[in-house]
């Protein structure tokens, strides 16, 4: 009975964390990076457009663009925006880590790949 507890408890944590975890997309080609400020709220956001719609099971994607999540810090969001802009200017493909934000998919991480975006 005692050994069953040691097996079941880690399994519970595995299912609990994976149910709400985001995931990395396939390799994508960035077509634009736009940053803007909402004049009514004063809050800013950044939107990234891709050549094809990102596919992810973490949250449904309905367009070829995603916003960069800014929940953690503006500095971290700016780093992601800079990486995506760098990938755009150097014609590199990227993978983005997505998760749900207010019911829509948002970017929470960026990887620049060695693949050229043609």
Query: Residue 116's pLDDT is what?
Result: 92
Query: Residue 15's pLDDT is what?
Result: 41
Domain borders along the chain are: 23-116
23-116 sits in which CATH class?
Answer: mainly beta
Kind and range of the H or E run holding 16: helix 2-18
According to DSSP, residue 71 is labeled: S
Read off the pTM: 0.76
Query: What is the rounded distance in angstroms from the CA atom of residue 90 to the CA atom of residue 93?
Result: 9
Across all residues in the chain, what is the average pLDDT? 82
């Amino acid at each position: 009975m005692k050994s069953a507890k040691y097996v079941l408890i880690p399994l519970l944590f595995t299912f609990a964390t994976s149910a709400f975890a985001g995931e990395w997309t396939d390799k994508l080609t960035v077509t634009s990076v736009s940053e803007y400020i909402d004049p009514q709220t004063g809050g800013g956001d950044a939107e990234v457009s891709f050549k094809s719609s990102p596919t992810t099971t973490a949250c449904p994607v309905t367009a070829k663009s995603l916003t960069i999540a800014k929940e953690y810090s503006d500095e971290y969001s700016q780093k992601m925006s800079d990486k995506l802009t760098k990938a755009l200017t150097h014609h590199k493909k990227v993978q983005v880590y997505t998760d749900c934000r207010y019911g829509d998919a948002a970017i929470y991480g960026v990887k620049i790949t060695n693949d050229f975006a043609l």
